Structure 1
Amino acid sequence: MGAKRKAFIKKGLFGILVLIVVIPILFPLYFVFISSFKNMAQVYKMPPQLFGFKPIFDNYIYIFKTQHYGTYILNSAVVAFASTALSLFLGVPAAYAIARYRMGKASTAILTARLLPNISILLPYYFIFSKLKMIDTYAVLILSHMVLSLPLVVWIMTGFFEDIPNELEEAAIVDGCTRQRCFKDVLLPISAPGLVTCSTLSFLGSWNNFQFALILSGEKTRTLPVSLQYFVSGADIRWGRMLAATVVVIIPTIILTMILQKYIVQGMTAGAVKG
């Protein structure tokens, strides 16, 4: 058997293996997407029609015209961007301090906080913020989402700063940089993959968060994941409209992940500079 034939067989087997792994992952997304363009009769048709049907846009027209999904998108975006930005603003300097001063106990405590069940935090949050009359405000949603994203930022960025040699920072200080300027102009650019990873994971975690938004939001600040439950009633489930809303929720996450996947993989696996 020639070398070219062996290489062809290996590529073929690898392609089959990729399909075996990818199809079970992508098929549900494909099914949700095409079903969002069907009417109720087509959605309930068995076996489901996967190809060759005439798509309709009634479900999308309904959710944007009647259910005010533009407002829900704005609410989700405001909360996700703000909680991510504040988590980075507070978490990155904290991670630097933990890494440089070897505060292992602080790192363990932060990781423990990240592993706590959401419900254990949610109930005290509701009690406190209801007393402060802050329920159904952007502030309470941003703060509650930071409880999840801030430990994640600190945990990931601590590893990045630990991988950066102290000599690099010391050389910059010898050259006249203050510690603050060294942090801003030297360490942050080197840690760009980690920052992208933290930003992406924090944004997606906030965008997809259901529990906190369900309890702490209201008519004014309702986010996309919470809105999906209103297509379920005691009589039936409006599948076409719900699936259209689901597509609206997942498309930004898919696009963001596809654009930043290289940086996310680099940030999660390699770190910044290996010491």
Structure 2
Amino acid sequence: MTKRLGGVYAAYLVFAVVFFGPVLFMLWSSLRNNVDITGSLFDIGSPLTLENFTNLFERFAFGRYIANSFIVAGGSTILGLVLGAPAAYVIVRRKLAALGFVTLLARMAPGVLFVLPLFVLSIRVGGPDSVALNYTLLIVAHLIITLPLCIWLLVPFFEEIPISIEESTLIDGANAWQRFRRIALPLALPGLSVALTLSFIFSWNYFLFALALANERTLPLTVIAFNFIGQGSNDFGGLMAASTLISAPALLLTVFAQRWLVRGITGGAVK
């Protein structure tokens, strides 16, 4: 029994090193001078500094890039939930599995498939010259990521709600919208939390659409991080600091909502 527990804890330790090791190394490197990172990779005695973080805000409009990321990721997540929740409910209650599969195809397709049409559309409507229009195009583009995800995360939660609960409201004359808003939606609140968390993380980390569509005033964090790598010049300290700031919101949101994430992963597994 003791040997078995020892093997389990050893496996936990290995997984912890594999998953948390790179994150801790990123955080540690963000607090080191660039010369220390390139000179001695694992020198634990090297001095720590916040210079990499201060340089980010001195050399770049980093506050604006953070705001851009929140606008695009937050906007596409909220819009994905607003459109995805009713869509998932209709798919379940009307048994439109084929329609649900069609929405999933957009999530399965590579993002490169949508870049060229979206880029041409952006040029035609004047997206590069308008900040508001550029934000709108980026949010709509990120719906390709968030909307199918919201739908397929919410479908199992709506399937778990007994139809008899909704049918009981017919006595009071409740219509379909009232049944969805007052009965189904509150009961699917854990699913909404899961969909919000995962959609935000996926949208926050995605950079392909922003790389092709964003102008210099709407660039998000994921794109600006590439400015720290160039031929003959590699600012690893700045890159690690930028990566830390990029990863922080997604990591904090994951830790905060991990209980709902576990339920979302297993949602629909037991009926």
TM range (shorter): over 0.9
Residue in structure 2 matched with residue 129 of structure 1 by the alignment = 122
Q: Deviation per CA, 1:218-274: give whole Å up to 9, x if none.
A: 1110000000111112221111111100000001111100000110110121349x6
From 49, 53, 62, the equivalent of 2:55 is 62
String of CA shifts for 1:190-221, please: whole Å, max 9, x gaps: 11121111111111111111100101001110
TM-score (norm 1): 0.92
Which of 213, 218, 223 lines up with 2:220 in the alignment? 223
Q: Distance in 2 between matches of 1:233 and 1:213?
A: 20
Distance (whole Å) between structure 2 residues aligned to residue 76 and residue 204 of structure 1: 11
Shift of 1:175: 3.9
Alpha-carbon offset, residue 15 of structure 1:
1.5
Checking the alignment, whether the CA contact within 8 Å between 1:173 and 1:179 is kept in structure 2 is no
Cα gap change, 1:101 to 1:63, in 2 (>3 Å) = same
1:194 corresponds to which residue? 191
1:19 counterpart residue number: 13
Residue aligned with 1:56, SS: coil
SS at match of 1:44: helix
How many residues are matched?
267
User: Is 1:36 the equivalent of 2:30?
Assistant: yes
After the TM superposition, which parts of structure 1 deviate over 4 Å for at least 4 consecutive aligned residues?
A: none
1:167-246 equivalence runs, <5 A: 167-246=164-243
Write the distance in 2 (CA, Å) between the matches of 1:10 and 1:140: 55
CA distance in 2, matches of 1:271, 1:45: 51
Q: Give CA deviations for 1:68-119 in whole Å, capped at 9, x if unaligned.
A: 1111100000111111111111111111111111112111111112111100
Determine helix, strand or coil for the equivalent of 2:234.
coil
**Conservation of the 8 A alpha-carbon contact between 1:145 and 1:212:** yes
- Could you say which residue in structure 2 is the equivalent of 1:143? 140
How far residue 189 of structure 1 moved from its aligned partner, in angstroms, is 1.5
Q: Aligned residues: percent identity?
A: 33
Q: Runs of 5+ in structure 1 lacking a partner?
A: 1-5
1:118 equivalenced with 2:115 (yes/no): no
Local SS of the residue matching 1:55: coil
**8 Å CA contact 1:91, 1:153 repeated in 2:** yes
Corresponding residue number in structure 2 for 1:102: 95
TM-score (norm 2): 0.93
The structural deviation recorded for 1:129 is: 1.5
Uncovered stretches (5+) of structure 2, i.e. residues with no partner? none
1:82 aligns with 2:75: yes
2:46 paired residue number: 53
Shift of 1:159: 2.5
